[in-house]
């Protein structure tokens, strides 16, 4: 296998002193980011530094990374820290960025593998809405290596090519392109937060930290990165952005706090299907970077996580004073036109014939149809339908027990 050969070559190069093994420790990662051309100072240590410390420790002690995994983790974190430094520098140099409007965003709220990408890309067929492209998510700011030339698209293309070469399953599980509408997962990397890290590496200590912190400051940074993206496009701010990220289900209360004029499109898919598909994606990514991947642990962890996110989403939706609509995974598969028309009525925008034709062409693309080749089953990850039902019932029982009794 190509990954095994790469690991052998890396080990050989390190043993011969031809290259230096990357160090996954906070200070070393920060020092490497500061050496990046175009990256300024990271500023005072803050909550991001605490998350970095936990992530670095978890990578060394929990993730069981191969040599390739160590290189990939080092590269991703250094790039995230360099982008963090650039974010601070650009906002200082161009204060008008902070005045860039982000009006009435359309936020897709759905678990991983719930059809959120399909919904995002259907809405991206409408030029009246804005969206984040793959290269913008993973490379929010130009690196400065090419002087005034914006190299984000080139870096996005190269990163995507590497990801597909190392893990050919990626193109089937999550087909995408450099300039295609995609989730803003790279924005969270800049905050040293979120599922891009949790879905690649076994880092339960880091995941637990992310689940208990106040995420409003993270979404304030997320908004700032959206403003930078819009400013770099010279966007007038008159088109609502379509935002999509499975992490929203875990942090919806903070998302609505930062975007109080949002409209929510809330996707639903049976939990057993969501867990099986999510576990398959995570397993595919983890085994690219580790030879000690336990599919049963992945099943338990993502069942726990999906139940937690479902619970938090329901609680946040009850408290949110924003327009929202429920859309079922199977309903879109059965009658996507009818479901999209419901969504457009919520948004108060007429669905034109031209846009509907563009949506139909997107759904007819071989790339989209290739998703049917993604095979997965609960049993592959040590789970059963009864076990999933028990986890959901236990969550419901915990919620009921937490409701105070009312006086008669």
How far, in Å, CA of 145 to CA of 139, rounded?
A: 13
Q: Mean of the pLDDT values across residues 242-268?
A: 97
Cβ atoms 275, 302 nearer than 8 A: yes
* Residue 198 within a domain: yes
* Residue 81 within a domain: no
* Residue 10 within a domain: no
Q: Mean of the pLDDT values across residues 236-249?
A: 94
As for how many domains the chain has, the answer is 1
Q: Give the residue among 241, 392, 375, 378 at the shortest CA–CA distance from 314.
A: 392
The CA–CA distances, whole Å, from 345 to 102, 197, 349 equal 21, 36, 6
Q: How far is CA 387 from the centre of its chain?
A: 27
Whole-prediction pTM? 0.91
**Position 397 pLDDT exceeds 70:** no
* Residue 29 within a domain: no
On average, the pLDDT of the chain sits at: 90
* Residue 396 within a domain: no
Q: Give the residue among 118, 123, 121, 34 at the shortest CA–CA distance from 82.
A: 34
* Residue 293 within a domain: yes
* Residue 183 within a domain: yes
Domain extent, residue 279, equals 104-144+152-388
* Residue 219 within a domain: yes
pLDDT digit string (tens) for 85-125? 999 999 999 999 999 999 999 999 999 999 999 999 999 99
What's 126's domain CATH number?
A: 3.40.50.300
**Position 40 pLDDT exceeds 90:** no
pLDDT digit string (tens) for 290-331? 999 999 999 999 999 999 999 999 999 999 999 999 999 999
């Amino acid at each position: 296998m190509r990954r095994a050969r790469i690991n052998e070559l890396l080990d050989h190069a390190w043993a011969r002193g031809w290259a230096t093994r990357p160090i996954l420790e906070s200070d070393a990662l920060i020092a490497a980011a500061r050496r990046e051309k175009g990256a300024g100072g990271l500023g005072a240590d803050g909550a991001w530094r605490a998350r970095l410390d936990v992530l670095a420790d978890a990578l060394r002690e929990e993730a069981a990374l191969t040599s390739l995994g160590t290189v990939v983790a080092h590269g991703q974190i250094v790039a995230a820290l360099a982008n963090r430094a650039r974010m601070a520098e650009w906002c200082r140099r161009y204060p008008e960025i902070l005045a860039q409007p982000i009006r009435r965003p359309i936020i897709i709220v759905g678990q991983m593998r719930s059809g959120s990408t399909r919904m995002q890309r259907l809405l991206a067929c409408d030029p009246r809405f804005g969206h984040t492209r793959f290269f913008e998510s993973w490379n929010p700011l130009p690196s400065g290596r090419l002087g005034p030339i914006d190299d984000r698209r080139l870096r996005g293309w190269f990163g995507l090519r590497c990801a597909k070469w190392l893990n050919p399953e990626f193109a089937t599980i999550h087909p995408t392109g450099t300039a295609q509408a995609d989730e803003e997962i790279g924005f969270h990397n800049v905050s040293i937060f979120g599922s891009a890290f949790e879905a690649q590496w076994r880092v339960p200590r880091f995941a637990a930290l992310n689940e208990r912190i106040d995420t409003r400051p993270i979404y304030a940074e997320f908004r700032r990165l959206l403003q930078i993206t819009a400013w770099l496009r010279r966007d007038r701010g008159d088109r609502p952005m379509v935002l999509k990220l499975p992490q929203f289900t875990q942090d919806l209360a903070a998302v609505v706090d930062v975007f109080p004029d949002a409209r929510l499109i809330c996707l639903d898919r049976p939990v057993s299907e969501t867990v099986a598909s999510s576990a398959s994606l995570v397993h595919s990514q983890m085994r690219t970077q580790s030879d000690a991947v336990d599919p049963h642990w992945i099943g338990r962890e993502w069942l726990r996580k999906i139940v937690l996110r479902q619970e938090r989403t329901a609680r946040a939706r009850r408290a949110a004073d924003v327009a929202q609509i429920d859309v079922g995974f199977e309903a879109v598969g059965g009658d996507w036109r009818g479901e999209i028309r419901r969504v457009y009525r919520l948004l108060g925008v007429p669905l034109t014939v031209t846009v509907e034709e563009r949506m139909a062409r997107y759904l007819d693309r071989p790339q989209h149809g290739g998703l049917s080749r993604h095979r997965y089953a609960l049993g592959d990850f040590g789970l059963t339908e009864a076990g999933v039902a028990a986890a959901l019932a236990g969550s419901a029982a915990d919620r009921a027990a937490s409701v105070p009794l009312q006086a008669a």
